[in-house]
Amino acid sequence: MSPADVLIDCRDAALTFGRGPNAVVAVHGAALRVHAGDRLAIVGPSGSGKSSLLHLLAGLEQPTSGSVTWPGLSGLRDIGLVFQGDSLIPALDIVENTALPLVLNGMSDDRAREAALSALALVGTADLADRLPEEISGGQAQRVAAARVLAQAPRVILADEPTGRLDHATGGRVLDALLTAADETGAALVVTTHDPAVAARLTARCTMHDGRLTSADSTEADAAHSLGEPS
Ligand SMILES: Nc1ncnc2c1ncn2[C@@H]1O[C@H](COP(=O)(O)OP(=O)(O)OP(=O)(O)O)[C@@H](O)[C@H]1O
Ligand SMILES: [Mg+2]
């Protein structure tokens, strides 16, 4: 792999919340490279630091030590993050929420709406287009958050437990949509999950435990691919 293929380079990045006796180390020096075409699962229990790590990769949090850089991206807009928690804007209906990043990027309202409706259909939520976020379920909101990223067609998709609030069949459909989108656009896909069945559908796996990231794949080649030591 040439260095140009590295989209996100996370070198020994740590993230601590709070100070002094109340400090919580959410991520201990994590080393991870994300390349174009990667399909990586990050598996770990609740509180192990998965969301914190994704927020570092997305540039939403600054590392307390170490670094995160994006050598192969032209900006953080190339990254789409499917948030784990509520992330929809209450005053906008579902199609407006889904189209918003496109409109902010300069796309016309009509084209953005069309792209948003296609993305909503991919995760089975097109019929919710005219509702407000308060009028849909938590699992439906999670699917809309995925659609909002699919509509953007980013070069890196970071999906934070995208199936966490979904039944098996619906979760499978969302994962299908993410995998298909990544295949079609050549995007990298990083998915956090508690669910081994979800992790099994990605091609590489890491585990997160008490803020420590390790490769869960058995072969050296896989480990070297995803968990590169800084060179
Ligand atoms: N803003 C914050 N302030 C203080 N502590 C935080 C903050 N966000 C997360 N933490 C702590 O950091 C640790 C890692 O949290 P994180 O949300 O990254 O875990 P997670 O693996 O995503 O958990 P889950 O599976 O429940 O989503 C936890 O101990 C959590 O309490
Ligand atoms: Mg989380």
- Would 20 be classed as within a structural domain? yes
Here the CATH number for the domain that contains residue 192 is 3.40.50.300
What six digits make up the tokens of 14?
A: 């740590």
Do residues 128 and 95 make contact, with C-beta atoms less than 8 angstroms apart? no
Higher pLDDT pick, 178 / 216: 178
Phi-psi region at 59: left, alpha or beta (left = phi > 0; alpha = psi -120 to 50): left
Pocket lining: 4 vs ligand 1, CB cutoff 6 Å:
no
Do residues 49 and 26 make contact, with C-beta atoms less than 8 angstroms apart? yes
| Beta pairing, strands 39-43 & 24-35 | unpaired
Which tens digit of pLDDT belongs to each residue from 56-85? Answer: 999 999 999 999 999 999 999 999 999 999
**Mean pLDDT for the stretch of residues 181-208:** 96
The size of the chain, in residues, is 231
Pocket lining: 26 vs ligand 1, CB cutoff 6 Å:
yes
**Amino acid 215: pLDDT:** 85
Q: Is the pLDDT of residue 227 over 80?
A: no
- Would 169 be classed as within a structural domain? yes
Do residues 4 and 74 make contact, with C-beta atoms less than 8 angstroms apart? no
Rounded-to-integer distance, Cα 163 and Cα 230, Å: 32
- Would 111 be classed as within a structural domain? no
Our CA dihedral for 142, 215, 26, 166, rounded to 10 degrees, sits at: 20
Pocket lining: 84 vs ligand 1, CB cutoff 6 Å:
yes
- Would 108 be classed as within a structural domain? no
Residue range(s) defining the domain that contains residue 204? 3-90+153-226
Backbone angles phi, psi at 24, to 5 degrees: -120, 120
Which tens digit of pLDDT belongs to each residue from 6-52? Answer: 999 999 999 999 999 999 999 999 999 999 999 999 999 999 999 99
Which tens digit of pLDDT belongs to each residue from 81-103? Answer: 999 999 999 999 999 999 999 99
- Would 231 be classed as within a structural domain? no
Residue with the smallest CA separation from ligand 1 atom 1 is: 17
- Would 127 be classed as within a structural domain? no
**Amino acid 69: pLDDT:** 98
What six digits make up the tokens of 149?
A: 């990223």
Tokens 């019929």 appear where?
Answer: 127
Tell me which amino acid residue 11 is: R
* pTM as predicted: 0.92
- Would 172 be classed as within a structural domain? yes
Q: Is the pLDDT of residue 146 over 60?
A: yes
Q: Is the pLDDT of residue 206 over 70?
A: yes
Tokens 């630091």 appear where?
Answer: 49
- Would 142 be classed as within a structural domain? no
Least distant ligand from the CA of 43: 1
- For the chain, what percent of residues have pLDDT higher than 70? 91
Tally of structural domains, the chain = 1
Pocket lining: 125 vs ligand 1, CB cutoff 6 Å:
no
Q: What is the mean pLDDT of the chain?
A: 92
In the chain the first and final C-alpha atoms are separated, in Å, by 14
